[in-house]
Chain A
Amino acid sequence: MVMPESGAQNMREDIHREFLGLLGWQGEELERFLPDWRRTADYLGLTDGDVRYAVAEGIPAHWDLTLAGVRKCIAACIREAAEAAKMGLYRQRGDPVLYSNMPAAPVCMYANKLAGGGRLHISHPDFIMATVLNAFFSKGCGEFSGAPCMNADCRHCGMNRLRADAGRNGRIAPPTITWNWGLHCNEAPKTEEMLRCIQGNEWNDVFITIPHDAPLGDREAEDEDRVDYLASEIRLGQEQVTACTGVAVEQEHLRRAMDEYIAYMRRVEVLTNLVVGADPQPLTGNELTLFGVCMEVSFDIGFSYIDDALDTVIEEVRGRIARGEGVLPKGAPKLACDFNPLNVPWVDGAFRENGVNLTLGRIFQPASSLSDLLGDDDLYRTIARQSLSDPNAVNMRDQVEIVTKLLRRYTINGVLYGFFAFDRWIGALQKTAIQIIEARTNIPHFYLEGDFWDADRYRPEEKMAVIRSICNCLKISGIA
């Protein structure tokens, strides 16, 4: 039987309505957002079947939608993806568009948004695409970017590969300028350089970096020369961005952006302390990490949606703690996770099936520590100092000191590193660093080879034996 065209169209619309309804959209708001979402689904390369899968299996399998905070947080990611899908339209109407890679300094990006007064738009298009595709649709970056520009054999990070391919084929619209941060990731600036070579004048970029030449053990955030150097690099970068966008960023914009960012990070810290401190653990590791999605990026939609999601889930978590409810029984071991498990949601599920909570998704500087670095009058110096207090951006001994201090804040049974196989040197450094951290903290450290941007390079079945062994080790320690 051939269905009338209008009937087929309605069925297609229905699955998209169902998707939005699942995440809390309703009534007029849903109908208003539906065209945006349809455009976003196309932008992400999602078929109706992909959306149907997400509604029926993908999202319910990994996310607890009975929690309004979780629904709101996923919805915030979808709203931001919808913004990313509109960047081409914004440019067509003459608005400046500023892109950045991840990890970036979110305050700098957001200050541009505030200074633009609604006329300038910011986006981390590859990051939001990769996150949404992996976390909610179980589609790896590899499936999406099949163009020959960078292929899987190049062994590049899946997110950079996605940016290169989607930029090249026009899915990611050319920005006015990309502000590229090479503090953590040296592949991001190289990818940008390649895009500029291919796209020519249509692809402007400026990048910030600092030589990795700090003496081993140097406390980089306390090294005033280093802070000065990085602050001047960031200031210069902003001047170059302003030259392209025509939007001047003043200290007041940086101040407002910093205030909003710190307020967001405070909420993340409250949630983290509640979840990691509670037994039984009231949220999964995936869910806890989801709320940290703006730690290293800024959303064009601002912080309001994610802050609302955080406020909601904090109340829900408090309720669960009061009722003694958890995702696993009381006493289940807690394994802090260094990498962002969002893009490989099955990892958290595999640990849970074996009686272990992933917790503390990413080892990060909490707001209370970042606030201690607010003493500089010049906010570029503050941002530089905060960047140099990030354990992943500094020399290995400094990293060890920072992580040791951070781990001692929490009662955890182990730490899980890995999934950085896409990076030529972070993985190697981590394998050394964790042995020193383990000796200092007495907390057992484990490692899983993998690639969180390209999860389909590894089959879950291949990692199960290691995951079970880690879980058994943790449970054995808990028995005696």
Chain B
Amino acid sequence: MSREKALCGKEEIIRVAVGIVDREGMEALSVRGIAKELGVSSMTIYHYVENLRDIKREVLIKGFDRFYACIYQALNRLPVPVDRNTFCRTIAMQVFAFAAAERNVFLFMFSEGRQMFRGDAEIRPFYAFLEKLMKRAKATQNDWAAHEQAYHLFEMGVLSIAYQYSAGMENLDEEKICGYIDFFLNKCLPEETGGAAKGNRT
């Protein structure tokens, strides 16, 4: 009689799930597929997770983990103090970089995942990220109240184009991406309010 492989824990399931999403997209994610890859039965998976939604939630959390790590690392490389324009541009560039490198999880994070989990107490703080970061950052908090809507529009614009780029609806090279970011910065945060068309490009 064959004995089923014992899992070390939920982490092992999520690791495999993240791999499937990276390779094949969220649509390909299933409990049966994870079980097959781990060499266990579907029932074993359900011992560690409640359902597929639970797994998707964890994939989303892992996505945010990598997303914020990229943004932090990019900002941390800049010479301090970082001005508002450079801060916004660096974050926007990292959004595009993440959208390219982690296409499938990015698409899930900002479409179906957002619909499913934006009310989740653990995940909620990680949406509207630009707004929240800029509200608190020294370089931006002073004019935050006066330009709250502008920051919101900037975030929406960047995410919207990055989503199309990630979904293959827009074929963008670095020049075009920078052009979009400059456009949004100029339109949403023009120079007289502290925004500038030409900042450090990272």
Q: Known contacts A468-B65, A472-B72; decide if A480 and B11 are in contact (CB<8 Å).
A: no
The residue of chain B having its C-beta at the shortest distance from the C-beta of A448 within the complex is B122
Is A259's beta carbon under 8 Å from chain B? no
Please determine whether A480 and B65 come into contact, CB atoms closer than 8 angstroms: no
Chain A: minimal CB distance from B113 (Å) = 14
Pairwise interchain contact B62-A465, C-beta atoms closer than 8 A: yes
- Which segment of B79-87, B97-105, B152-160, B173-181 sits at the interface? B79-87
Tell me the bound Cα distance from A400 to B84 in angstroms.
Answer: 32
Q: Given A444-B136, A447-B125, are A473 and B10 also a contact pair (CB < 8 Å)?
A: no
**Complex CA distance for A462 and B61, rounded to whole angstroms:** 10
A476 within 8 A of B: yes
Q: Is the CB of B68 within 8 A of A480?
A: no
Are A476 and B72 CB-contacts (below 8 A) given A459-B11, A465-B65, A468-B65?
yes
| Pairwise interchain contact B69-A468, C-beta atoms closer than 8 A | yes
- Any chain B CB within 8 A of the CB of A298? no
Stretch from B20-28, B35-43, B127-135, B189-197 contacting the other chain: B127-135
Indicate whether B32 reaches chain A with its CB closer than 8 angstroms: no
Assess the A477–B61 pair: CB atoms within 8 A: no
A465→B122 CA distance, assembly (Å): 11
Contacts of A182 in B (CB 8 A): none
Interface flag for A446 (CB, 8 Å) = yes
1/0 contact trace for B114-148 toward A, CB 8 Å? 00000001101110010011011111100000000
Neighbour of B137 across the interface among A459, A470, A480, CB < 8 A: A480
Verify A413–B11 contact, CB threshold 8 A: no
* Chain B residues in 8 Å Cβ range of A468: 65, 68-69
Alpha-carbon gap, A32 to B65, bound state (A): 52
B183 in contact (CB, < 8 A): no
- How close is B149's CB to chain A, nearest CB, in angstroms? 16
Inter-chain contact A461/B129, CB cutoff 8 Å: no
A205-244 interface (Cβ within 8 A of B): none
Q: Mark B71-82, 1 if CB is under 8 A from A, else 0.
A: 110011010111
* A475-B136 Cα distance, complex, nearest whole Å: 11
Is A447 within 8 A of B126, CB to CB?
Answer: no
Kindly identify, within residues 49 to 73 of chain B, every residue whose CB is under 8 Å from any CB belonging to chain A. 58, 61-62, 64-65, 67-69, 71-72
Cβ distance B73 to chain A, nearest Cβ, rounded Å? 9
Q: Confirm or deny: A71 has a beta carbon within 8 angstroms of a beta carbon on chain B.
A: no
A contact residues around B129 at 8 Å (CB):
473
A470 adjacent to B125 (CB under 8 Å)? yes
How many Å lie between the Cα of A115 and that of B133 in the bound state? 55
A contact residues around B121 at 8 Å (CB): 417-418, 431, 434, 447, 449
Minimal beta-carbon separation of A457 from chain B (angstroms):
12
Given A459-B10, A459-B11, A466-B122, verify A473-B68 contact (CB < 8 Å): yes
User: In B8-22, which residues have CB < 8 Å from any A CB?
Assistant: 9-11
- Whether B84 contacts A480 by the Cβ 8 Å rule is yes
Chain A residues 87 to 144 lying within 8 A of chain B, measured CB to CB, are none
| Residues of chain B lying within 8 A (CB to CB) of residue A480 | 75, 81-84, 87, 133, 137-140
Residues of B within 8 A of A418 (CB): 121-122
Cα(A466)–Cα(B126), bound, Å: 10
Contacting residue for B11 out of A446, A461, A479, CB 8 A: A461
A476 with B71: CB separation less than 8 A: yes
Top 6 A-B residue pairs of the complex, sorted by shortest distance between their CB atoms:
A480-B137, A472-B68, A480-B139, A447-B121, A477-B136, A465-B65
Question: 27 pairs across A/B with beta carbons < 8 Å?
Answer: A418-B121, A431-B121, A447-B121, A447-B124, A459-B10, A462-B9, A465-B58, A466-B65, A466-B122, A468-B65, A468-B69, A469-B68, A472-B68, A472-B71, A473-B133, A476-B68, A476-B71, A476-B91, A477-B133, A479-B72, A479-B82, A479-B137, A480-B83, A480-B87, A480-B138, A480-B139, A480-B140
Residues on B close to A: CB < 8 A?
Answer: 9-11, 58, 61-62, 64-65, 67-69, 71-72, 75-76, 78, 80-84, 87, 91, 121-122, 124-126, 129, 132-133, 135-140
Q: Other than the known A418-B122, A435-B124, A473-B126, what 20 A-B pairs have Cβ atoms closer than 8 Å? A: A417-B121, A442-B136, A447-B122, A448-B122, A449-B122, A461-B11, A465-B64, A465-B65, A466-B122, A468-B65, A472-B68, A472-B69, A473-B68, A473-B132, A476-B71, A479-B80, A479-B82, A480-B75, A480-B84, A480-B139
